[in-house]
Structure 1
Amino acid sequence: MASDKQDHIVAVVDDDLRVRESLEQLFDSAGIAHISFHSAEEALQYGGLTSISCLITDVRMPGIDGCELQRRMTAALPTLPIIFVTADHDDELRRNTLYQGAVAFFYKPFDGEELLNTVDAAVRQSRTSGASNVDC
């Protein structure tokens, strides 16, 4: 991980408490600041959205799903890197989310080190290129 990992905050949005706790432990062990939300609605109501450097979201959640969350976050923060995680093996959805701007798409369970490397690369890339995400 790059030495600036303390400079970014990763937001995790997943309705599964176990997944949120697992990701919190992963980011704690790597020294990465993070915030977790149990729903897209909760994340969208968070007052510090501009402090988020990377968003990790489940695809399928009650209420607002990950694709709609991506649309809304992209409207507010066009350069925010978005990483999808899901237990649903849907290759068409995977292709679509990546085509529409997601920086990565992981199937659960995923390799923690690979996720950390992806987050680091996504944050560095968004800071230098101004890359943008669009709809699912």
Structure 2
Amino acid sequence: MGLCFSSSSADEDEPAKNPHFVGGKVTCVTTKDAWNQKLSEAKTQGKIVIANFSASWCGPCKSVSPYYIELSEKHLSLMFLTVDVDELTELSTQWDVKATPTFFFLRDGQQIDKVVGANKAELQEKITAIAGSQVPGDQKQP
């Protein structure tokens, strides 16, 4: 998603210039430090992270993005992130992203599931199941 620009300002969460990729409750991650900060924040808050690895040149990424934004507004107990595979190549390689979009579901920074491709039905099904399985903070299961 070449439109998730890194800015020189201290605000890593500044929305991208292109409304097709961020909006609602989706945060565009532009640096590895911001990624680590968001994962740490999610762990502290007991939230599961949905990370969308996508690219500006990817047609399916563009088509599923508004739906991803819509899901972020419905499932406030989850943290929704977008990562540009071209901007954060190192992170994309670390997560072994071979196709865009790829959606990772992370608990405490560890992958618990993923969806490869712009399959809206599968994405909604997994998000709904994961959101429904979350247990509030101090009542976490072992």
TM-score, reference length from structure 2: 0.40
More helix by share: 1
TM-score, reference length from structure 1: 0.42
Q: Which one has a bigger Cα radius of gyration? A: 2
